[in-house]
Structure 1
């Protein structure tokens, strides 16, 4: 199968490209730069926000995977309207190119809680993108993962970045809401084979899968694991959510500050699956890597 992976030089994309190569597929990574592609992967230079760059890149491919995404953890450069430009409009551009090129399959990376009427720009844009995918003429599959961790990912470093933003130079860590927001981290090496199955197998056509790791952890528990792995002690100071909202609203107005009100809103709801769909890929939770195992502090 000829597979185009949009975002194929990124964190998840590089793992998926290698997985597809190992399965005998011909893989092309669509990216804004030719740098960073895994060995054996062709590169097509293009941008999902620029439709004119997509037609030639998509031509000749049987399947298209859309992994292009902006992080929900930080406010994007250019403001929150970039979420709509990249996630909703970018997906629509890629769908059009895939349909016109005669591709058969389309795999969309979405997010838990994706909803066109959601609470954050990221969630709304992801929800609108899902709507476009379902309305297409392609055989589609949608994945909604919880946060993904692994070598090259940003989630683990996110906790230390928060410390640098809120309490630099002091041994106290003020966590919004005391860090009660729950996550279900999934290791990228566990996720990539599921994505590859989604590309290959007809049984996954027309399905939306919520996938997460083997355990639910609060942000506080994740923070403790990360600092334990670094051999650093940390004292958690619960930061009331109203204070977090005020602080992020004020700080978010400062040019260059990487967080804002949307990040506060995202911490108000859990990032966990209602029913972990990993079983659809023949996977059991005991087969998955925990965050503690990855960090070496299991």
Structure 2
């Protein structure tokens, strides 16, 4: 049995079908709040409604599992936080998994994860990485860039409602994105390939500045314009919004970090080592999403 924590999220929804197609038994753990809890998915998938804030739920989730994929994140959820999910929840789950005899954990993380990282999300990811490294289990840390599909969805929503695509800062800083398809393929590979045990792998799909992403969306839609939010305003918002909207503050903080250029990373060596894993770039994601305005 393979446990997928965050199995209703964007990445989890891509990983689970791949595992089922490979003949694996899968248990999904999710709260069922930020994303609808799925209907019965067949005999190969067990659904468990659980909270990473609960020791009992974590113990129940890992019981009988040989491997765990931690694909949950609190960054983009308004009623949660990276500290609750990406740090404390990940540590709690790792401890429960080790106690239950789980053999291998695949932990999703992000390039730049460090105890002294410039934003809280990276510090939380570093704590989660440390937890699995010191757990006594085999581990794989998969560091991915911002999910391309998620970023496109965020930028498309205002285009549909206001005719504007937001670009924070100059829009010229390079950002490495990872498509959901590529990230899911790496996770599945990590579960079956001993070459990915007890190591960190950084996986990107394409590096682009925000203005190129925005222009591609506008070209696809055939209407609209770019709405630029000055870098100074982004930095101010990352501080001023904390008392009334921690979610908005951390999004602005991440945007300010991207403006520094630190969100771009080198993924060529990993690609060269595993050339059979797919590469899905911006145009492929847009073409696969169907009609203009839809990124489902």
Same fold (TM over 0.5): yes
| The one of 67, 76, 81 aligned to 2:71 | 67
Corresponding position of 1:218: 209
Q: Deviations over 1:209-241 (max 9, x none)?
A: 10001x31101111111222222241454x542
2:152 is equivalent to residue 156 of structure 1? yes
CA RMSD of aligned residues (A): 2.7
Q: CA deviation at 1:251?
A: 4.8
CA contact (8 A) 2:214 2:226 kept: no
Q: TM-score, normalised by structure 2?
A: 0.84
Counterparts in 2 of 1:172 and 1:19: CA distance versus 1, 3 Å: closer
The 2-side partners of 1:174 and 1:197 are apart by 35
Deviates more, 1:176-185 or 1:97-106: 176-185
> For residues 105 and 37 of structure 1, what CA distance do their matches in structure 2 show?
28
Q: For residue 15 of structure 1, report the CA deviation from its aligned partner.
A: 1.0
Rounded Cα–Cα distance in structure 1 between residues aligned with 2:263 and 2:20: 31
Distance 1:120 1:256, change over 3 A: closer
Q: Secondary structure at the match of 1:258?
A: helix
Verify the 8 A CA contact 2:106 2:191 in the aligned structure 1. Answer: yes
Structure 1 residues 125 and 173: CA distance shift in structure 2, 3 A: same
Corresponding residue of 1:143: 142
Match of 1:283 in 2: 276
What is the total number of aligned residue pairs between the two structures? 280
2:189 is the counterpart of 1:191: no
**Please, which of 249, 270, 275 is the counterpart of residue 262 of structure 2?**
270
Find the counterpart in structure 1 of residue 79 from structure 2.
77
Judge which range, 186-195 or 94-103, deviates more: 186-195
Give the gaps of 5 or more residues in structure 1.
none
1:295 counterpart SS class = helix
CA apart distance, 1:158? 1.6
The 5 A counterparts of 1:235-246 are 235=226, 237=228, 239-246=229-236
Which residue matches 1:45? 49
Instruction: Name 2:292's counterpart in structure 1.
Output: none
| Structure 2 CA distance for aligned equivalents of residues 225 and 205 of structure 1 | 38
Matched position secondary structure for 2:51:
coil
In the TM superposition, residue 161 of structure 1 has moved relative to its aligned partner by 4.8
How far residue 256 of structure 1 moved from its aligned partner, in angstroms, is 8.4
Q: Is the 8 A contact 2:58 2:96 kept in 1?
A: yes
Aligned counterpart, 2:218:
227
Residues 172, 235 of structure 1: 8 Å contact kept: yes
Q: Which residue of 1 is the match for residue 120 of structure 2? A: 121
Cα distance in 1 between the residues matched to 2:94 and 2:31: 18
Query: 1:295 matched to which residue of 2?
Result: 286
Deviation at 1:35, TM superposition (A): 1.8
Structure 1 stretch displaced more, 121-130 or 29-38: 29-38
Q: Deviations over 1:108-154 (max 9, x none)?
A: 0011211111111111101111111111100000000112234xxx2
- Which one is further off, 218-227 or 31-40? 31-40
